[in-house]
Amino acid sequence: MAMCSTIVVVVVLVATATAAEETRCPGTTSSFRRKQAAMEDMPMDADVFAVPPGPNAPQQVHITLGDHAGTAMTVSWVTTEEAGNSTVLYGRAMDKLDMAAEGTHTRYKYYNYTSGFIHHCTLTNLEMCIRDSYYAMGFGHTVRTLWFTTPPRPGPDVPFRLGLIGDLGQTFHSNDTLTHYEATGGDAVLFMGDLSYADKHPLHDNNRWDTWGRFSERSVAYQPWIWVTGNHEVDYAPELGETKPFKPFTHRYPTPHLASDSPEPYWYSVKLASAHIIVLSSYSAFAKYTPQYKWLEAELASVNRSETPWLIMASHSPWYNSNNFHYMEGEPMRVQFEQMAVDVRVDLVFSGHVHAYERSFRVSNIRYNITDGQCTPVRDRRAPVYITIGDGGNIEGPADEMTHPQPAYSAFREDSFGHAVLDIKNRTHAYYAWYRNDDGAKVAADTVWFTNRFHMPNHDDSTPKKRHY
């Protein structure tokens, strides 16, 4: 009898504790309603698409990390009249470009479109953390000189501001998002995929890849963007005779995949300051025994949290999504990779694809067993926080059909456009803020302090102390 009483007491205590946990911090569905407006791409003659002046001037300049640890940067640009020169001169002053790198150029055809001359050149042996590193290209015709800050040397307490943008496109809302990100400021961008949405135009009009390249240059020529591939990069169109997936993207946007021993450009890793960032591909095979799966296993085993305590993953399609748009599309990858992510204490998983914003509590759904029916996500301090930020403002419009009621794993969600910044302070703390595009203004609408899963594994950090609605 005494034992039965004890069991009852324990059950009641557990039930009370679970209820208290849920009551203490339920999720929030924001009451903010974005003003509806036409979602059209900016016109071809918009000033943000202007071609740089001068004969054969380099355009669509963009940079991305050129190696695994930040001592190389790959510069890409397009010339349209002739190939010209693929050389980049670079150095620490505009009048002292004392290093040179020789690049290559390529072209591609897509149905009735022929690209310009697309140049790629990797600058190596960069000194780390140098503000105003200058680089110049276009020799023989119109020379353009631009600049960036070289990445800091990786280390556990190196601060870093990582911009987070997804599904940007090229509408007026996209322009707001990019403008707001520029105002927020960051050291690099982790871009969650779906760049130009050229495939939304007749015949996948690849001129829209060119306009997107000119539109985004004002940020991506001056700081590296880390590319995740989305479904709008696939460009698979057998009806046009185009059957090679990712053809425009791979010609235009190189990634440093070889530096992390990845066989494909769609999944790879980089180190930035105190973060180790793993990019996954939702649109490549990831089942067990596939190259991506085997690569991820080896990659996770190689992460040194003493050097880079912040372990971040990104995939285009979200693993946790309570929006009817793209509902459950990310489930196969969650099933394959979630246990691995929990086991190694991944801090954060970022995604796009859904044109809304959502942040989860720290949850996992790894105890699922088909015979016991335990298939509901539960609070789990070992687990990542999942953030969906496919809200760049593209031509397809917002994803405005959330599931109801809000599931218990969802901490905050809003049908809106915006961007975010992860402000890593040191090995234990990072300040995260999501900024809504609010009728032209930038408003911090979801802010959280995250604590590191390696150094503070048991700290409950996924309940925001302060919210703005």
- Residues within the interface to Fe ion (CB under 5 A): 194, 230-231, 353
Nearer to Fe ion, 228 or 411 (CB): 228
Residues 6+ apart with CB under 8 A from 274: 154, 155, 156, 157, 158, 159, 160, 308, 309, 310, 424, 426, 427
* Structural Rg of the chain based on CA atoms: 23
User: Measured from the CB of residue 317, what is the shortest distance to Fe ion in angstroms?
Assistant: 7
Catalytic-residue membership of 204: no
Question: Smallest distance from the beta carbon of 329 to Fe ion, in angstroms?
Answer: 9
For residues 171 and 355, is the Cβ–Cβ distance under 8 A? no
299 three-state secondary structure: helix
Contact assessment for residue 397 and residue 355, using Cβ atoms and an 8 Å cutoff: yes
Residue 333 carries which side chain, given as an amino acid letter?
M
- C-alpha to C-alpha distance for 55 and 107, rounded to whole angstroms: 19
In the complex with Fe ion, the residue whose CB is nearer, 199 or 347, is 199
Angle subtended at Cα 50 by Cα 45 and Cα 53, rounded to the nearest 5 degrees? 135
CB of 227 to Fe ion, least distance (A): 14
Nearest approach, Cβ of residue 412 and Fe ion (Å)? 21
Which parts of 156-267 fold into alpha helices (H)? Answer: 172-184, 207-220, 247-252
| Strands annotated E in 96-178 | 99-102, 104-106, 109-110, 113-114, 117-123, 133-137, 144-148, 160-165
- The full length of the chain comes to 469
Cβ of residue 8: shortest distance to Fe ion, in angstroms? 50
Residue 318 near residue 386 (C-beta atoms within 8 A): yes
Nearer to Fe ion, 325 or 434 (CB): 325
Q: Which of 173, 326, 353, 419 is catalytic?
A: 326
* Nearest-approach distance from CB 193 to Fe ion, in angstroms: 6
Residue 444 beta carbon to Fe ion: minimum distance, rounded to whole angstroms = 25
Q: How far apart are CA 248 and CA 233, in angstroms?
A: 7
The burial of 69, by beta-carbon neighbours within 10 Å (0-12 exposed, 13-18 middle, 19 or more buried), is given as middle
Rounded distance, CA 336 to CA 166, Å? 23
Closest CA to 165 of 198, 195, 210: 195
Phi and psi dihedrals of 342, rounded to 5? -70, -40
Compare residues 231 and 410 and give the one whose CB is closer to Fe ion.
Answer: 231
Strand 144-148, strand 410-414: pairing: unpaired
Q: Which is nearer to Fe ion, 167 or 338 (CB)?
A: 167
By C-beta, is 115 or 231 nearer to Fe ion? 231
- Residue nearest Fe ion by beta-carbon distance: 353
Burial of 439 (0-12, 13-18, 19+ CB in 10 A): exposed
DSSP 39: -
Q: How far is the CB of 466 from Fe ion (least distance, A)?
A: 31
Q: Which is nearer to Fe ion, 62 or 353 (CB)?
A: 353
CB nearer to Fe ion: pick between 377 and 392: 392
Active-site residue numbers? 326
